[in-house]
Amino acid sequence: MKNCDGRFAQDECRQAATSRQCWHYGVDYGFKRLRTKYHFRTADQPDPESIEHALSALSIDKAKSQEALAHQLLSSLLPLLHSQITSLSLVLKTSSLRREPGPKLSLVLQIQGQLDSTMDELRYLIATLCPENPSLPDRADDQHLRRFKSYRLDRLNNEFRSLFSWGMCDLFQAANERIGQMELTSIPSIHDEDADTRKKDVEWSVSYALNRIKAMSDSLSTSELAAAQVYWELDRPDIDNLLNNIIKKLNPSTDSREVEGRPTLPRPYIGEPVIRLAKLTLPIVELSRIFLAKLSKRGLAQERFPIFTEICSDQIQTLAECARDIARDLRKLESRLDFADDGGVTSDDFTSTAKSLKTRFDAPLLLVLVYFIPLIPDDDSLMFKTIIRIGV
């Protein structure tokens, strides 16, 4: 009787191991199929018939307004995808997979199917909302298109491509590698030196995908002033660093000039004329920082502006590029200061750069004054404070 019980237990173990192996193969195939289906290098472009079929499944008529598509995107598909990604990340926790490999792999298979369905619907909706051959993202005649101006749709489409190709497909690969290299058996595993790396890969991919989902949502749901500032965050830190560099060159630290014979600080300004110019440059850089800060999310952009105004995409693009242009001219000023001691820079070089920098503020300041300041209620004192502080 004991022998029968032992054989029965062995059979159960073999069946469980076989089931885990089948689930593992299924999960491996599923992730590879999803990556091939949705990566931009291998994905098939949606055809009109497929788009019609997908939209009908969503109860959306292609002829309906873009608002219906946007509502479906913002209220249903993006939140659903966010939830499914979060669920997958929880299942992929190493301790959970090792403790219950069979049930967890089965759950991964279910989530794969859910992700496939949601991503399919999402790509067809985006193909309808953002045609394959869209107009230029900086149109000057789309002020009447509400929140569906070319600047917004171009950004939405770019974020969508990033979500699928670099967010989701990288997540599929990282998840598959984690599961494949864990060797999910009943035998305790030895320490895996690559486990931490795979964990970071999965976590990074999840974080990136969720950030892209938020960016897609923001591209249609934030004010146009906020939408224009998405790329400011790439340049504003440069301006901060530039200001700090000039200060360090004006006030070199004598006790930390070298470490093992290597300079740790930028070369200081030496000549008195250059030092005077550098001191005159400091308030210019500081005012540039203040200008961008006052228009940013912690300043004017925190006002509850409507999602759309009468501004056109070309003008939104001007606002979007102003931080980059300001930072570029400030870097030129710093560069001219660096070479001034060597006599390689003339006064005309400084003058032309300063004049160029001044013009960088004209267009964005005018656009803010025309399209956004009037939308703030007259009894809101913040309007007057903002006008005074940014110098309108």
Residue pair 267/257 in contact by the 8 Å Cβ criterion: no
pLDDT of residue 345: 84
**Computed over its alpha carbons, how large is the radius of gyration of the chain?**
28
Band of pLDDT at residue 314, cut at 50, 70 and 90: very high
Closest CA to 381 of 389, 344, 312: 389
Identify the residue with better confidence: 243 or 299: 243
Q: How far apart are CA 339 and CA 351, in angstroms?
A: 15
Least confident span in 28-37, 139-148, 337-346, 376-385: 376-385
Torsion of CA 210, 215, 218, 220, to 10 degrees: -110
The per-residue pLDDT for 64 is 56
At 376, the pLDDT band (50, 70, 90 cuts) reads: confident
Res. 260: pLDDT tops 60: no
Phi-psi region of 260 (alpha: psi -120 to 50; beta: other; left: phi over 0): left
Q: Does residue 48 have a pLDDT over 80? A: no
Residue 220 predicted with pLDDT over 60: yes
pLDDT band, very low/low/confident/very high, at 186 (cuts 50, 70, 90): very low
Task: Residue 9: count other Cβ atoms within 10 Å of its Cβ.
Answer: 10
Q: Which of the residue ranges 144-158, 196-210, 338-352 has the most confident prediction, judged by mean pLDDT?
A: 144-158
pLDDT for the residue 296: 84
Residue pair 220/73 in contact by the 8 Å Cβ criterion? yes
| Residue range 284-307, pLDDT digits in tens | 999 999 999 888 876 776 778 899
pLDDT for 70 beyond 50 = yes
Which alpha helices (H) appear in the chain, and where do they start and end?
2-38, 48-57, 66-72, 78-91, 94-99, 101-129, 150-162, 169-182, 195-221, 224-228, 232-250, 272-295, 313-340, 347-371, 381-390
Q: Which of 75-79, 111-115, 250-254, 314-318 has the lowest mean pLDDT?
A: 250-254
**Residue 378 clears pLDDT 90, i.e. is over it:** no
Per-residue model confidence (pLDDT) at position 319: 95
Write out the two tokens for 176.
């598959």
Tell me what the pLDDT averaged over the chain comes to: 82
Unique residue bearing structure tokens 């237990």: 9
Domains contained in the chain, CATH given: 2-221 (no CATH), 232-390 (1.20.1410)
Q: Which residue has the higher pLDDT, 298 or 129?
A: 129
Question: Residue 220 burial by CB count (10 A; 0-12/13-18/19+): exposed, middle or buried?
Answer: buried
Q: What is the pLDDT of residue 352?
A: 94
- Read off the pLDDT of each residue in 186-209 and give the average, rounded to a whole number: 67
Residue 56 confidence class, pLDDT cut points 50, 70, 90: low
368 in Cβ contact with 303 (< 8 Å): no
Q: What is the pTM of this model?
A: 0.81
Helix (H, G, I), strand (E, B) or coil at 265: coil
Q: Does 325 or 106 have the greater pLDDT score?
A: 325
DSSP secondary structure string for all residues of 59-110: T--TTS-HHHHHHHIIIIIHHHHHHHHHHHHHHT-HHHHHHSHHHHHHHHHH
Query: Comparing 60 with 167, which gets the higher pLDDT?
Result: 167
**Residue with more model confidence, 269 or 385:** 269
Mean pLDDT across 255-266: 54
The residue with greater pLDDT, 21 or 324, is 324
